[in-house]
C-alpha cells in the first residue's frame, strides 16, 4: 500500500462531491433515490454541510443535528464516506442581525448588508465565538463517526475586510513585524516620500480606496496581513476541531491562482491541499488543449503547495458551471478527460459541485450529477458513472506522486508587487500569463514542472525557470546561486531583482542581491513597447525571435551573449546571455518573446540538465505518477480527433490492453499505462 494515502478508509481514489440534503429534507423519496444513484455512479464520498449553518442552528443557540446524523449514517451504511464541512462560509440571518460586526466592511469603509456568502469579518471576536461553538459541536457530534474521513474548513476563503477591528489588528500586525519601532516601518515604506511619515502605528489605516493607496509598502503589507488574518481565522476553526478530534485530516478548498491569499502561507496548516476546478472549456479564444494545459498548470500550483502528498480536486462541474461568461456544456468524453487529468497531475480525488441540482436560487442551473430530470440515463450521469468505473480501475494510483525534475518559481508577493508597481504598462505586465506561457512549453515537451516558491528548497530539481522575479525574498538570490553552483540550469527574464521584500530598489545594479554576479549582467533600462511596437532578437548561430512588450538593455559583465537586438538605439546589444557559474548555467532573457519560440533554448537547457524530452503529438499531455509498486503514465488527448502516440509501453489500466510502441487515443481519450517496478 502506498504510504502517501490521504484516506486509509478508502481502498483507492475518492469519487464524490458536494451534497446538499438540507435542501431536500422534506423529500425522503429524493434522499433515498440519491443513495441509489450515488452507488450507481460509483460515488464513495460526499461533502456535507458546506452551507448548513441555518439548518443546524435555525435560531441562535437552538441546535439540530439529527437530520445530518441520519444522512451521514445512511451514506456510511452504503459505502459512502463523508467530508464534513464547517458552515462558516455563509451566515444565518439571525447572526448578522444580532452581531453586525460579523459583516465585512469594504475598501470605502462601507459595511455590507446581510446576504450572499464568503464575506465575514475575519477578526470579529463574536463571529469567531459563534463559529467556534458550531465547529466544536460538529466535531463532538460527528467526529467519532467512522464515516467521517475529513474536515473541510469553510468554503473558498477569500476577500478583505476594512472594519475597525481588522484595522486595529493590522496595526498590531505591523507593530509586531517592525519590532514596535515605527521608524523601521517608515524606512521600509520609504515614507519620506510625499510627506507620508508616520509617528505611531495607531496612525496607520488600511489602504482604503479613498485613502492611502500610494505607498507600495503599505499595500503589500496589507495583502500580507490579509493572508495572515485569514490564516488566523482558519487556524481558529482548525484548532477547535483538532481539540476534539485531532486525528481527522483537515483541508480547505482553494481557488486556482486566486490572488487574494498567499496559499503558500496557508498550506502548512492543512493536512491536504484541495481546490475547485472550473476550466472554461470549448471557449473561442484558445484551443481546447490550451485550456487543458492551463488547468494542468493550476494542478501543478496545488501540487507544489504540499510536495510529497497527493492533492484533491474538491470541486468540478459535471456538465457545466453557471457563472462562466458563457456556460457551455462539456462535449462528450471531456468530463472523463478533465477528471483523469486531475488524477494524472497528482490528485487523489475527483469531486464535484454538485451532486444534485437545487430547485431554486443562485445555482439552480449549475451542472450536477443528477439533473432536474432526476434520472440515471442522462448523458452527464452516464459520463460520471463511467468516471466512477475508471476510478475503481485506477485504485492503485492512490498515494503515488508526480516527481518533477524541473520547477518554475512563482511568488505571491512578487505577484502583488508587479501588479501594484507604477512602471511598465499595466495592460501588458502579465506576470501570471508569462509564467503559464513558459510552463506550457515544458508540458509540450513532456517535461513535468513543479511550481515552487522562490525561497524553497530546489535540491530535487535540475532545471529552474524564474520569470519576472521583480521582488526577491530574503534568501532567494542565495537559493538561486546555490542551485546553479551545484549544476542547475536556470533561466531568468527581464524585470528580475529590482526590489527587495520591502519593495525598496536595489542599489548598485539590477538584478540585485548578488544576482547580477550570477548572471554576469546588469540591466540598465527597460523599454516598454506600445502594442504595435516590435523589435527582434538575432542569434549568433542564426534565427530570430520577435520581441514585443518589454526589452531590457543590458551591460554585459562576464556572460556569453547568445543573441542581440536588431533594431532601435540598442541594436546589437545583448538580449540573451548565459554565464557558467559553478557547475551550472544561468541564462538571462532580457526581452519578451513568444514562449513557444524559446523551445529550442529550453531543449538545450533540458539536455544540459539531463532531463529527457518526450515527443508528443500536438495537444497531448503526458504525466507520470510513481509509487513503491510501479509507475502510471497518463496520456491525455486534448484533440477532438484520434491521435497516435509513439514509444508507449505498459498495460492500459482503463482497457486492459497491452501497449508496446504505438498507442492510439480516440478524440478526448485517455490511457493510463501501468509499469511495475
Ligand atoms: C464554488 C463554490 C461552490 C459553488 C461552485 C459553483 O467553487 O465553492 O459552493 O458555488 O463554485 O461553480
Ligand atoms: Zn473586519
Helical spans, DSSP H, in 25-163:
28-40, 53-56, 66-77, 93-98, 125-142
CA 493 to CA 550: how far, in whole Å?
10
Q: Grid coordinates 483537515 are at which residue?
A: 250
pLDDT computed for residue 1 by the predictor: 67
Which of 50, 119, 329, 353 is the best mutation target for the ligand 1 pocket, counting ligand atoms within 8 Å of the beta carbon and taking the most?
A: 353
Average pLDDT over residues 198-225: 98
Would the pLDDT of 654 be above 90? yes
pLDDT in tens, 613-632: 998 999 999 999 999 999 99
The percentage of the chain sitting over the pLDDT mark of 70, rounded to a whole number, equals 100
Tell me the pLDDT tens digit for each residue of 106-128: 999 999 999 999 999 999 999 99
Which helix (H) or strand (E) is 652 found in, with range?
Answer: strand 643-652
Instruction: Report the alpha-carbon distance of residue 511 to residue 457 in Å, rounded.
Output: 21
Mean pLDDT of 133-149: 98
Which residue's CA lies nearest to atom 5 of ligand 1? Answer: 353
557-615 confidence digits (pLDDT tens): 999 999 999 999 999 999 999 999 999 999 999 999 999 999 999 999 999 999 999 98
The mean pLDDT of 12-23, rounded to a whole number, is 98
Mean of the pLDDT values across residues 628-648? 97
CATH topology for 620-676 is Immunoglobulin-like (2.60.40)
Q: How far is CA 216 from CA 174, 391, 532, in A?
A: 15, 48, 30
The yes-or-no answer on residue 62 being catalytic is no
How many angstroms is it from 125 CA to the middle of ligand 2? Answer: 10
Domain at 406-609, CATH class: alpha beta
- 419 exposed, middle or buried (CB, 10 Å; 0-12, 13-18, 19+)? middle
Does 278 contact ligand 1 (Cβ within 6 A)?
yes
Q: How confident is the model at residue 541 (pLDDT cuts 50, 70, 90)?
A: confident
Pocket test for ligand 1, best of 22, 156, 312, 323 (most atoms within 8 A of CB): 156
Q: How many residues does the chain have?
A: 677
Is residue 432 annotated as a catalytic residue, yes or no?
A: no
**Quick one: which of 512, 466, 459, 516 has its CA closest to 490?**
466
Average pLDDT over residues 315-331: 97
Average pLDDT over every residue of 634-638 = 98
**Residue entry with cell 557547475:** 583
* pLDDT tens sequence across 81-115: 999 999 999 999 999 999 999 999 999 999 999 99
pLDDT band, residue 540 (cuts 50/70/90): confident
pLDDT tens-digit map of 159-194? 999 999 999 999 999 999 999 999 999 999 999 999
| Per-domain boundaries in the chain | 406-609, 620-676
The CA distance from 436 to 376, in Å, is 39
* Predicted pLDDT of residue 3: 84
For 164, the 3-state DSSP assignment is: helix
Among the listed residues 57, 101, 160, 315, the single catalytic one is 315
Beta strands (DSSP E) in 402-488 are: 406-409, 449-452, 463-466
Q: What's the average model confidence in pLDDT over 30-34?
A: 98
The overall average pLDDT reported for the chain is 97
Q: In ligand 1, which atom is closest to the CA atom of 362?
A: 10
Amino acid at each position: 500500500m502506498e504510504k502517501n494515502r490521504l484516506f486509509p478508509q478508502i481502498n483507492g481514489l475518492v469519487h464524490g462531491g458536494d451534497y446538499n440534503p438540507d435542501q431536500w429534507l422534506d423529500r425522503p423519496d429524493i434522499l433515498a433515490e440519491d443513495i441509489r444513484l450515488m452507488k450507481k455512479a460509483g460515488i464513495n464520498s460526499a461533502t456535507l454541510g458546506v452551507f448548513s449553518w441555518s439548518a443546524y442552528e435555525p435560531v441562535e443557540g437552538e441546535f439540530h443535528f439529527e437530520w445530518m446524523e441520519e444522512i451521514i449514517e445512511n451514506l456510511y451504511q452504503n459505502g459512502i464516506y463523508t467530508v464534513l464541512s464547517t458552515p462558516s462560509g455563509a451566515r444565518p440571518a439571525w447572526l448578522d442581525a444580532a452581531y453586525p460586526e460579523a459583516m465585512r466592511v469594504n475598501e470605502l469603509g462601507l459595511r455590507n448588508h446581510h446576504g450572499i456568502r464568503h464575506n465575514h469579518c475575519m477578526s470579529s471576536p463574536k463571529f469567531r465565538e459563534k463559529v467556534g461553538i458550531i465547529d466544536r459541536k460538529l466535531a463532538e457530534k460527528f467526529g467519532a463517526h467512522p464515516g467521517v474521513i475529513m474536515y473541510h474548513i469553510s468554503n473558498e476563503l477569500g476577500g478583505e475586510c476594512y472594519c475597525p477591528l481588522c484595522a486595529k489588528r493590522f496595526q498590531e500586525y505591523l507593530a509586531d513585524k517592525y519590532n514596535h519601532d515605527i521608524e523601521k516601518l517608515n524606512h521600509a515604506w520609504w515614507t519620506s516620500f510625499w510627506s507620508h511619515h508616520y509617528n505611531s502605528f495607531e496612525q496607520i489605516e488600511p489602504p482604503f480606496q479613498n485613502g492611502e493607496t500610494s505607498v507600495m509598502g503599505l499595500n503589500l503589507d496589507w495583502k500580507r496581513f490579509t493572508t495572515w488574518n485569514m490564516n488566523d481565522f482558519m487556524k481558529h476553526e482548525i484548532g477547535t476541531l483538532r481539540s476534539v478530534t485531532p486525528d481527522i485530516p483537515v483541508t480547505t478548498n482553494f481557488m486556482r491562482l486566486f490572488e487574494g491569499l498567499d496559499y503558500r502561507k496557508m498550506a502548512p496548516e492543512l493536512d491536504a491541499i484541495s481546490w475547485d476546478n472550473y476550466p472554461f472549456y470549448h471557449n473561442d479564444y484558445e484551443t481546447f488543449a490550451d485550456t487543458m494545459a492551463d488547468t494542468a498548470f493550476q494542478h501543478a500550483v496545488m501540487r507544489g503547495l504540499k510536495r510529497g502528498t497527493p492533492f484533491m480536486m474538491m470541486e468540478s462541474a459535471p456538465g457545466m458551471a453557471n457563472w462562466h461568461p458563457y456556460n457551455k456544456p462539456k462535449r462528450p468524453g471531456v468530463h472523463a478527460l478533465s477528471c483523469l487529468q486531475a488524477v494524472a497531475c497528482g490528485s487523489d480525488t475527483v469531486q464535484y459541485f454538485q451532486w444534485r441540482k437545487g430547485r431554486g436560487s443562485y445555482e439552480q442551473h449549475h451542472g450536477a450529477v443528477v439533473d432536474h430530470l432526476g434520472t440515471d440515463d442522462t448523458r452527464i450521469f452516464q459520463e460520471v458513472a463511467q468516471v466512477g468505473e475508471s476510478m475503481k480501475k485506477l485504485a492503485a494510483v492512490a498515494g503515488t506522486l508526480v516527481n518533477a525534475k524541473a520547477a518554475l518559481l512563482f511568488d505571491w508577493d512578487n505577484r502583488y508587487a508587479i501588479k501594484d508597481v507604477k512602471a511598465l504598462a499595466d495592460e501588458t505586465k502579465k506576470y501570471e500569463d508569462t509564467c503559464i506561457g513558459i510552463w506550457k512549453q515544458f508540458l509540450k515537451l513532456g517535461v513535468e514542472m513543479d511550481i515552487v516558491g522562490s525561497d524553497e528548497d530546489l535540491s530535487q530539481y535540475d532545471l529552474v525557470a524564474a520569470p519576472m522575479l521583480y521582488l526577491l525574498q530574503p534568501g532567494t538570490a542565495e537559493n538561486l546561486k546555490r542551485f546553479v553552483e551545484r549544476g542547475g540550469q536556470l533561466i531568468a527574464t527581464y524585470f528580475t531583482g529590482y526590489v527587495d521584500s520591502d519593495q525598496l530598489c536595489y542599489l548598485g545594479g539590477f538584478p540585485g542581491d548578488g544576482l547580477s554576479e550570477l548572471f554576469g549582467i546588469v540591466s540598465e533600462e527597460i523599454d516598454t513597447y506600445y502594442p504595435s511596437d516590435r523589435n527582434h532578437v538575432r542569434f549568433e548561430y542564426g534565427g530570430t525571435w520577435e520581441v514585443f512588450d518589454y526589452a531590457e538593455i543590458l551591460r554585459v559583465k562576464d556572460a556569453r551573449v547568445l543573441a542581440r537586438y536588431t533594431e532601435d538605439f540598442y541594436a546589437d546589444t545583448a538580449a540573451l546571455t548565459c554565464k557558467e557559474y559553478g557547475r551550472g548555467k544561468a541564462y538571462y532573457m532580457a526581452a519578451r518573446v513568444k514562449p513557444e519560440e524559446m523551445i529550442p533554448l529550453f531543449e538545450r537547457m533540458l539536455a544540459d540538465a539531463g532531463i529527457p524530452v518526450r515527443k508528443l503529438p500536438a495537444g497531448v499531455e503526458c504525466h507520470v505518477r510513481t509509487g513503491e509498486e510501479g509507475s502510471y503514465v497518463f496520456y491525455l488527448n486534448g484533440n477532438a480527433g484520434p491521435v497516435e502516440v509513439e514509444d508507449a509501453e505498459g498495460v492500459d489500466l482503463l482497457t486492459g490492453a497491452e501497449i508496446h510502441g504505438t498507442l492510439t487515443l480516440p478524440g478526448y481519450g485517455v490511457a493510463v499505462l501501468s509499469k511495475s517496478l
